[in-house]
Structure 1
Amino acid sequence: MKTVLNFFLAAMAILAVSCAPKTSKEQANNRQPNFVIVFIDDMGYGDIATQGATGWTTPNLDKMAAEGMRFTNFYSAQPVCSASRAGLMTGCYPNRLGISGAFFPYHEIGLNPQETTIAEMLKSQGYATAIFGKWHLGHHKTFLPLQHGFDEYVGIPYSNDMWPLSNTGHELPEGNNRLKYPDLPVMKDNDVLFTITNWEGQDTLTTLYTEKAVDFINRNANNPFFLYVPHTMAHIPLGVSEKFRGKSEQGVYGDVMMEIDWSVGQIEKALADNGLTDNTLIIFTTDNGPWLNFGNHAGSAGGLREGKTTSWEGGQRVPFIVKWPGQVPAGTICNKLGCAIDILPSFAEIANAQLPEQKIDGTSIVELWKGNTEANPRETILFYYGKNNLNGVRKGNWKLVLPHSWASYNTEPGRDGQGGRRIKMTVETPQLYNMMRDPGEQYNVIEHYPEKAAELMQVVEEARAELGDLNVGIEKGSGNREIGRL
């Protein structure tokens, strides 16, 4: 009888445990994974300690890389603000969407409401969505984040130098075009929360976004969420809080990098405090390379050629770290190709979400994230710039640079927030570079490997047919879509 009683009591105990309310950590690990993207402005390939940065430290990013995967051949969608963000948000080459360059306060264009963003895609799966930072895909209401799938938004609608002051926060002389700009607005959802009227206001932005991100995580600990933190920094004019001012050996740019690193640490701490670390995929990357003509107020391309607004490697090859405990093998490096346009389809695969109805250019790279060294989901990268100019293509370890002109940084830079001049340079005939041996693009080997050049020209012709190429007079291809207009 005692044996029967003991069995009955044990069975009841097991039933009680199985029926007990789950803890928040247990609930978090049994639902859809959370997604976090930390997106930095104008940060170079060489601006993280694990990639050679000196003069400042990035302990949180170093730790993230040690616990996740670092890509060495990851590219932004284009080497400039609005275009790169359009590619990230939609999984499309920006020129497919009619988007190029950077939007200004006088523009009446933006991301077409017909396009599907990461936020809209995940929202359909029950995700809470938020953006805290720089949007730059149209500042009119119809183009703002809440109209593109986000539940919450606090941040600036365009770049922080689009205000009626100089890059050092000083008054401008009469007749300067910037005097036509309004004071820099900080938005909350669809309305202006306050305006920034001096350089001290810029100092508050990194901390503001971080606090909002932490609060969002705390409020959504029991719901799947997508958190997008596109920091204003390290775009000039550089702003940094008193917490980090003067903390680096390099000066204000190093201080800014240290505060960005702190921000990543605060976000990771909030995830850990809420038991969400194991069920959250977090990405750190940047919109394009460094704005080198600002000298000591700019970052480092890490030995790559040129920087922001150019189609050379320094303009588009960017830092990329992905962490997802138990899914992404810790402390690993991936040398395969990846692009910001691949993030949307990768999230779609993980969340079992439907891809946009309209064609996208990204491909899922989840197999790479999971450490499958045999996978090769992306074979090519297209380097479009300007209104619709195809400046180059990469396939495997080979990059074909097409005839085009660019504003080179190969001259004396500026200093302390004052921009140096740039000089016009031109590629007259196609050039071929071996990225494995020559990532700095110094040695044109097209005469030695004409068969490789011919192989890449096939990619060029296919791209021109579908997306156009103004360099050869093809304004549009069969697959271009319209930009959003008021």
Structure 2
Amino acid sequence: MKRRIVSDVMFLSVLGGINPVVAQEIKSVRPNFVWFMTEDVSSYFLDIYNEGRFGAVTPHVKELARGGLVFNNAYSNAPVSSAARSTLITGCYAPRIGVHLHRKMEEVPMPEGLHMFPYYLRAAGYHTSNAAKTDYNCFLDKEAWNIVSGKIGAWRMRPDKDMPFFHVRTCAVTHESSLHFSEEKMHESHFATWLDSIYIHPNHPDTELFRYTYASFYNRISESDAELGRLIAMLEEDGELDNTFIFYFGDNGGALPGSKGYTTETGLRVPLVVYIPERWRDKLPLQVGTRVDGMVSFVDFGPTLLRLAGIDVPEGMDGIPFLGDDISLDNLNGRNEVFGYGDRFDELYAFNRTIRKGRFKYSRNFQPYHPKSLYAAYRYKQAAFREWKRLYVNGELNTVQSRFFLPQGAEELYDLSKDPYETNNLARQPMYKEILLEMRKVLRELMVEKSDLGVFPECVWLEEGKNNPSLYGSRHRSSIRRYLDIADLELCDSENTTVRKKVRRALESEDPIERYWGATVCASWGDRAVFASLQLSRLIQDEVAYVASRAVVAMSRLQGKVLNDAMNGVWKRAEGTPEKVVCIE
């Protein structure tokens, strides 16, 4: 019924007017939507997610929860703003449409025939406003917004107060930059009276600086909660609260060290509380005050709003609605998979993919020789980050606290029901081998199905397919499968003769991307790739720069003498040879 009404509106609008009776019915059945998005906040840092034992106190979030739903397992898909927001606004997995890298080299268009989801709300008569951050990796869809850089409460500027509205508010007080204070400022703090009550996550050292950083962050979250209270008051003052769904959530994981930017649970899992307005509580088969265990993610948010507004979800979107008149709590709790991705993060480059299924989480790290702690200037502006590194260098951390600074390995497997902070990697334990293989298969099949552009060096798909990245990926799905076959050799026994032959074949391939992945496998093996030192030494002078640079990484991880001999030979052969630079990493 609701869907037909929206169609009538669009049809009558084309004719030049809307029947007043229909218009009144529309107003009565179409809800408003408000998103209150706090920057860099993970559910791990709110007391509402920690049984009130620790975390920031958020009374207005709790007020929404009493009249709505708390999602225990909501994910941002990506652990950094531009990739996460691109997922959010498109309803598409970012690596499929080329918006997964932070920061982008170039903006790319939406997939052909698809718009940012607010476009469909606006086309159906909604007033759409944004206050005020965008930060997408795709070209801004100007037709999606009435107001794109407004202020909180911009719904008040709609020309007709009977228009339903969608309003996005990004609250920046929690942004990680708020933690860029000097250590000297710490001693001026007014948090000192309750620093002893802070719960320090097991991967962090329990120091005065870390406690102060936690306390500062909690205080910022409380400030964002106060702003949420002001927004709720505005809706109530306007008489709109009883017909407005309010979504409270973080735009990616937390600002504390090792969270934002990393595909850990603290980097991907966000708080999500959805307030269900009075007028809609008898239309949804869900009891307010309920906590939902089913898994939802940013890719689902746009389709959910379209569903609630009675608008068909476009076929080009990947997300699945999680609220609707036929979606019960059992349906919600039956959702047991969620996909995560981490790629470039400022000057730090990574290629990590995760899948959570039930209580288990599997991570595939395609450059396993790197630690997660690779230097990124903006991260290390945070004093706690610098202290963490300093303590590691001085040998003052325990095993769990040190892991952030060690090579991450190709695979990670965690039982989150027992290990929510991912401290015990089960990937090498024989009793979990069957689960590991299943999770590995599920993630790989999803990457192929979604044409994950992460397997290509960025310059390749930008040069060949930037006008339609999703089409480029789908047309090269067989290549993606082939490249993953090579990449997955790093999971194999490096002493196996057949495996070695496959690596050599990749290193000598006419396809530069195959050479690139062959060199990556060798880099991951380190000294165990000595058998391929001749091929790698030749690749150092490869005419394709991303191949040459990856070969240098591989050679740098071989034994010193082998590297020195190979490098000396390369320089002699390379004298006077012009280099064709295609792109660099």
Q: What TM-score, normalized to structure 1?
A: 0.67
| Code of the aligned partner of 1:58 | T
For residue 39 of structure 2, what is the aligned residue in structure 1? 41
Superimposed CA distance per residue, residues 63-113 of structure 1 (whole angstroms, 9 cap, x where no aligned partner): 111221111111002001100001111111111121124347xx5425538
| Aligned equivalent of 1:143 | 139
Runs of 5+ unmatched residues, structure 1: 1-20, 156-208, 240-245, 294-305
Report the AA paired with residue 148 of structure 2.
Y
Whether the 8 Å CA contact 1:87–1:94 is kept in 2: the answer is: yes
AA aligned opposite 1:439: P
For residues 424-454 of structure 1, give each alpha carbon's deviation from its aligned partner in whole angstroms, at most 9, with x where no partner exists. Answer: 5433242322222222222233421222222
Q: Is the 8 A contact 1:322 1:369 kept in 2?
A: no
Q: Distance in 2 between matches of 1:223 and 1:75?
A: 31
Task: Report the equivalent of 2:535.
Answer: none
Change over 3 Å in CA distance of 1:419–1:445 after alignment to 2:
closer
Q: Structure 1 residues 109 and 374 mapped into 2: Cα distance closer, same or farther (>3 Å)?
A: closer
Aligned match for 1:396, one of 314, 334, 358 = 358
* Conserved 8 A contact 1:283-1:320: yes
Match of 1:80 in 2: 80
C-alpha deviation, 1:372, in angstroms:
1.7
The sequence identity of aligned pairs, in percent, is: 25
Is residue 434 of structure 1 aligned with residue 415 of structure 2?
A: yes
SS in 1 for 2:48: helix
Work out whether 1:457 is the aligned partner of 2:456.
Answer: no
> Which secondary structure does the structure 2 equivalent of 1:261 belong to?
helix
Partner of 1:88: helix, strand, or coil?
A: helix
Matched residue SS, 1:269? helix
Are residues 453 and 60 of structure 1, via their aligned partners in 2, closer, same or farther at CA, if it must alter by over 3 Å? same
Q: Deviations over 1:462-482 (max 9, x none)?
A: 123232375699988998357
Mapping for residues 227-306 of structure 1, pairs under 5 Å: 227-238=167-178, 253-293=217-257, 306=258
CA contact (8 A) 2:97 2:469 kept: no
Change in 2 beyond 3 A, CA 1:275/1:480: same
CA deviations on 1:165-218 (whole Å, 9 max, x unpaired) are xxxxxxxxxxxxxxxxxxxxxxxxxxxxxxxxxxxxxxxxxxxx43x447458x
Distance 1:111 1:41, change over 3 A: farther
Deviation at 1:124, TM superposition (A): 1.8
Could you tell me how far apart the structure 1 residues matched to 2:190 and 2:312 are?
46
Q: Could you say if the C-alpha distance between residues 435 and 236 of structure 1 is closer, same or farther in structure 2, counting changes exceeding 3 Å?
A: closer
Check whether the contact 1:70–1:320 (CA below 8 A) recurs between aligned residues: yes
Cα gap change, 1:437 to 1:318, in 2 (>3 Å): same
Give the partner amino acid of 2:372. A
- CA-based RMSD: 3.8
Q: Which amino acid aligns with 1:384?
A: Y
Instruction: Tell me the equivalent position of 1:223.
Output: 163
Higher relative contact order structure (alpha carbons within 8 Å, sequence separation ≥ 6): 1
Output the amino acid matched with 2:131.
F
Contact 1:56 1:255 in 2 (8 A): yes
Q: How does 1:402-417 map to 2 (within 5 A)?
A: 402-403=364-365, 404=368, 405-408=370-373
Aligned residue pairs, count: 379
Q: Which moved more, 1:119-128 or 1:455-464?
A: 455-464
1:347 CA drift (Å): 1.5
CA distance in 2, matches of 1:369, 1:338: 17
**Aligned twin of 1:378:** 335
**Preserved CA contact (<8 Å) 2:128 2:155:** no
> Residue 480 of structure 1 aligns with which residue?
470
Q: Call closer, same or farther: CA 1:55–1:47 in 2, change over 3 Å.
A: closer
Q: Report the Cα distance in structure 1 between the residues aligned to 2:408 and 2:216, rounded to whole angstroms.
A: 35
What CA distance in whole angstroms lies between the structure 2 residues aligned with 1:424 and 1:322? 37
Preserved contact between residue 41 and residue 253 of structure 2 (Cα < 8 Å): yes
What is the distance in 2 between the residues matched to 1:285 and 1:277?
A: 18
Gaps of 5+ in 2: 1-19, 180-188, 195-211, 345-349, 390-403, 474-585
Cα distance in 1 for residues equivalent to 2:92 and 2:103: 18
Q: Does 1:130 align with 2:129?
A: yes
Q: In the superposition, relative to structure 1, how do residues 112 and 482 fare at CA in structure 2: closer, same or farther (>3 Å)?
A: farther
For 2:178, what is the secondary structure of its paired residue?
A: coil
Give me the whole-angstrom Cα distance separating, in 1, the residues matched to 2:95 and 2:217.
31
Give per-residue Cα distances to partners, 1:33-77, cap 9 Å, x unaligned.
111111111112233331247585321111111221111111002
